[in-house]
């Protein structure tokens, strides 16, 4: 039987729709995140920008209330990176992250001279401290002063200054403790509290990596498909072998996307039929799922822009035509990346531009005004990640067309 074929434009239409960027997503915040994709948290404004793009008018106060109630959880998930996820899906993300990281972490601790006995003693002391009240990492370090030793030069070589961060992550992997952001998603400062019950009762064992990968694929594919097996493996951090086995278990629908190649859709999903509305516009934050889900960002760029430089995390600028991920705060029209925007920390507003004058739309200024007001009055900054600063933001303004 021949594999169904769709155009790249139809795929972009499916991505926009599944991401909740065409129509505002109603219901609870956690339901919107479950439907449109987990939010990568970088310690900056980007998770709020992702939510705002999918539900115009959602406030920082509303998002932070969902975090404090536990409706949304911040946990290690895909690739071991931090995401904001619905509470019901958090145990899957944590256990998957543990399957990727636990063995490596234990080896690193052993190389740094931390014995299992020392690790277990410190874990028990952490749990005892948290039984009274939640504490931040700094608060635990202060209350356990004298009980947490420096790992010295050996630890520095490995990248571990003390056993505490690793012990906290291992306790989190086991469900013994959970984290809550102290302020919101624009910070990497967390408060730890004792976990409640067994969060992993309905989650496969850590050693069953294929079953865990299957669960991750079932969460991801409805909001990312049609997508390639490589894109899923890249997003999740799963091995190609496990990703392939998970796809077989899910029984994915196979399609061929022009220029993208063989791709997967969720079983029973309707084939993409409509290309994006050319008048649809969106301002997306850096690492937004619409862009980050695609291993090759040129599939989101019109042919005339393929020679333009695209920023890559940690590897400088390369033209879109050379493939790979792209990062940046993009202006999107009709599903295509057509320009860039950035927050001006001095004027306290959003500067934006398109690479071609004909891509400009009046509605883009409305998007810019809305985001500028949110960043200036609700968050009070436009940081992309926790180590971002005003000078970096001023420098990025030079990229805006």
3-state secondary structure 362-397: HHHHHHHHHHHHHHHHHHCCCCCCCCCCHHHHHHHH
Q: What is the DSSP letter of 182?
A: S
Query: For 100-106, what is the mean pLDDT?
Result: 97
Q: What is the pTM of this model?
A: 0.95
pLDDT in tens, 279-313: 999 999 998 999 999 998 899 999 889 888 887 76
pLDDT of residue 184 exceeding 80, the answer is yes
Residue 243 lies in a domain: no
pLDDT of residue 227 exceeding 50, the answer is yes
Question: Quick check: 346 and 381 in contact, CB under 8 A?
Answer: no
Residue 241 lies in a domain: no
Owner of token pair 């980007």: 46
Gap between the terminal Cα atoms of the chain: 48
Task: Tell whether 112 and 206 lie within a shared domain.
Answer: yes
The strand ranges marked E within 66-211 are 72-76, 82-86, 135-136, 177-181, 190-194
Residue 6 lies in a domain: no
Task: Tell whether 95 and 213 lie within a shared domain.
Answer: yes
Question: Quick check: 228 and 235 in contact, CB under 8 A?
Answer: no
Expressed as residue numbers, the domain containing 81 is 24-218
What is the domain count for the chain? 2
Q: Which of 187, 218, 249 is the last residue of a domain?
A: 218
At 1 the pLDDT is 46
Q: What is the DSSP string of 309-344?
A: EEEETTTEEEEGGG-S--BS-EEEETTEEEEEEEEE
Of the candidates 219, 194, 190, 183, which has an alpha carbon nearest to the alpha carbon of residue 93?
Answer: 219
Question: Quick check: 75 and 85 in contact, CB under 8 A?
Answer: yes
Residue 250 lies in a domain: no
How far is Cα 375 from Cα 357, in angstroms, rounded to an integer? 26
Q: Which of 178, 193, 218 is the last residue of a domain?
A: 218
Task: Tell whether 160 and 289 lie within a shared domain.
Answer: no
Task: Tell whether 300 and 180 lie within a shared domain.
Answer: no
Owner of token pair 């057509």: 338
Task: Tell whether 190 and 295 lie within a shared domain.
Answer: no
How distant, in Å, are the alpha carbons of 12, 275, 316 from that of 66? Answer: 30, 34, 36
Q: Half-sphere exposure (CA, 13 Å, Cβ side) for 347?
A: 10
Residue 57 lies in a domain: yes
Task: Tell whether 59 and 204 lie within a shared domain.
Answer: yes
Task: Tell whether 55 and 157 lie within a shared domain.
Answer: yes
Residue 326 lies in a domain: yes
pLDDT in tens, 156-165: 888 999 999 9
Task: Tell whether 211 and 340 lie within a shared domain.
Answer: no
Q: Half-sphere exposure (CA, 13 Å, Cβ side) for 137?
A: 15
Task: Tell whether 192 and 333 lie within a shared domain.
Answer: no
Task: Tell whether 290 and 201 lie within a shared domain.
Answer: no
Ramachandran assignment for 238, one of left (phi > 0), alpha (psi -120 to 50 degrees), beta (any other): beta
How far is Cα 76 from Cα 237, in angstroms, rounded to an integer? 12
Task: Tell whether 292 and 211 lie within a shared domain.
Answer: no
How far is Cα 302 from Cα 139, in angstroms, rounded to an integer? 51
At 309 the pLDDT is 85
pLDDT in tens, 51-63: 999 999 999 999 9
Q: Which of 172, 200, 218 is the last residue of a domain?
A: 218
Residue 181 lies in a domain: yes
Task: Tell whether 207 and 288 lie within a shared domain.
Answer: no
Residue 144 lies in a domain: yes
């Amino acid at each position: 039987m021949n594999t169904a074929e769709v155009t790249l434009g139809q795929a972009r239409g499916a991505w926009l729709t599944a991401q909740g960027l065409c129509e505002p997503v109603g219901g609870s915040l956690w339901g919107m995140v479950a439907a449109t994709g987990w939010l990568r948290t970088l310690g900056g404004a980007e998770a709020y920008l992702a939510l705002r793009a999918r539900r115009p008018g959602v406030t920082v106060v509303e998002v932070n209330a969902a975090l404090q109630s536990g409706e949304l959880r911040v946990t290690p998930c895909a690739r071991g990176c931090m995401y904001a996820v619905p509470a019901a899906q958090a145990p899957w993300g944590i256990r998957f992250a543990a399957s990727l990281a636990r063995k490596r972490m234990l080896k690193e601790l052993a190389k740094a001279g931390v014995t299992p006995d020392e690790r277990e003693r410190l874990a028990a002391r952490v749990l005892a401290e948290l039984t009274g009240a939640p504490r931040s990492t700094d608060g635990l370090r202060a209350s356990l002063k004298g009980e947490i030793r420096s790992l010295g030069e050996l630890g520095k070589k490995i990248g571990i200054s003390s056993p505490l961060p690793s012990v906290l992550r291992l306790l989190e992997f086991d469900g013994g403790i959970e984290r809550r952001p102290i302020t919101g998603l624009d910070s990497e400062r967390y408060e730890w509290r004792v976990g409640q019950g067994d969060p992993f009762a309905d989650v496969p064992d850590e050693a069953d990596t294929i079953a865990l990968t299957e669960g991750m694929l079932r969460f991801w594919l409805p909001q990312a498909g049609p997508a390639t097996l490589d894109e899923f493996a890249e997003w999740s951090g799963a091995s190609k072998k496990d990703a392939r086995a998970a796809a077989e278990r899910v029984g994915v629908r196979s399609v061929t996307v022009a220029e993208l190649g063989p791709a997967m859709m969720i079983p029973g999903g309707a084939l993409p039929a409509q290309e994006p509305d050319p008048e649809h516009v969106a301002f997306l934050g850096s690492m937004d799922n619409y862009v980050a889900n695609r291993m090759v960002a040129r599939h989101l760029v019109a042919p005339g822009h393929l020679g333009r430089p695209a920023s890559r995390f940690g590897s400088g600028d390369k033209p879109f035509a050379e493939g790979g991920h792209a990062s940046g705060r993009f202006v999107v029209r009709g599903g295509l990346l057509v320009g860039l925007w950035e927050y001006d920390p001095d004027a306290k507003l959003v500067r934006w531009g398109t690479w071609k004058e004909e891509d400009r739309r009046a509605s883009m200024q409305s998007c810019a005004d809305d985001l500028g007001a949110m960043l200036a009055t609700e968050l009070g900054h436009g940081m992309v990640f926790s180590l971002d600063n005003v000078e970096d933001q001023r420098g990025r303004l030079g990229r805006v067309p």
